[in-house]
Amino acid sequence: MTTITIALIGAGYAGQSHAFGYRNAQLDDALNGVEIVLDTVVDPNEELANHVAGKYGFAKASTDIEQVLADPAIDAVSLALPNRLYVDIVPKALAAGKHVFCEKPLGLDAAEAEVIVKAAQASDRINAVGFSFRRIPALAALRDLVAAGALGEIEHFRAHYYADYAADPDQPLT
């Protein structure tokens, strides 16, 4: 049995999606032989960190990111933070020996993204970015068709993405 112990850093909207995913993944037979341990939720908003930890089955909550990065029990961190923080935190997390799953966008501009990518390339830790749609089966199948040349050479692509999350007229525009 391989154990992967996870800390979620940032407990807002996207962080809660990560927590939901990890909790569901614990039940997935495809993970046969891997145990996911939900250890800590970190957020400066202590009440939120506690709430998310309790709701998704993490053992504890913390407001101290440095302490969590220094904890040798944590194998991997899942980052769902304000974008301006990634350029500092991703290299720090990799240097602390953590595997890193980071939300997108990677920083505020291309220069910050490059710093992050270089830190990942220099590390032997596993890294990934939260491109949400990459693993959706229908899109993966479409990608395979394109890669196999079944659709010929793609010269133009137009798509619509329908989502209801902003359908409430009383909700602020984001």
Ligand X SMILES: NC(=O)c1ccc[n+]([C@@H]2O[C@H](COP(=O)([O-])OP(=O)(O)OC[C@H]3O[C@@H](n4cnc5c(N)ncnc54)[C@H](O)[C@@H]3O)[C@@H](O)[C@H]2O)c1
Name the site residues for ligand X (rule: CB under 6 A): 9-15, 42-45, 48, 65, 80-83, 85, 103-104, 130, 132
Nearest distance from C-beta of residue 123 to ligand X, angstroms: 20
Token pair 């709430």 is at which residue? 51
Q: How far is CA 34 from the centre of its chain?
A: 19
Collapsed DSSP state (helix, strand, coil) of residue 38: strand
Comparison of 67 and 132: residue with beta carbon closer to ligand X: 132
- Measured CA to CA, the distance from residue 152 to residue 161 in angstroms comes to 24
- Amino acid identity of residue 77, one-letter, is V
The residue whose Cβ lies closest to ligand X is 12
- Measured CA to CA, the distance from residue 73 to residue 158 in angstroms comes to 46
Nearest distance from C-beta of residue 153 to ligand X, angstroms: 29
Comparison of 14 and 117: residue with beta carbon closer to ligand X: 14
List of residues 6+ apart from 2 with CB closer than 8 A: 33, 34, 35
Comparison of 46 and 144: residue with beta carbon closer to ligand X: 46
Comparison of 12 and 21: residue with beta carbon closer to ligand X: 12
Nearest distance from C-beta of residue 64 to ligand X, angstroms: 9
Nearest distance from C-beta of residue 48 to ligand X, angstroms: 6
- Measured CA to CA, the distance from residue 103 to residue 34 in angstroms comes to 23
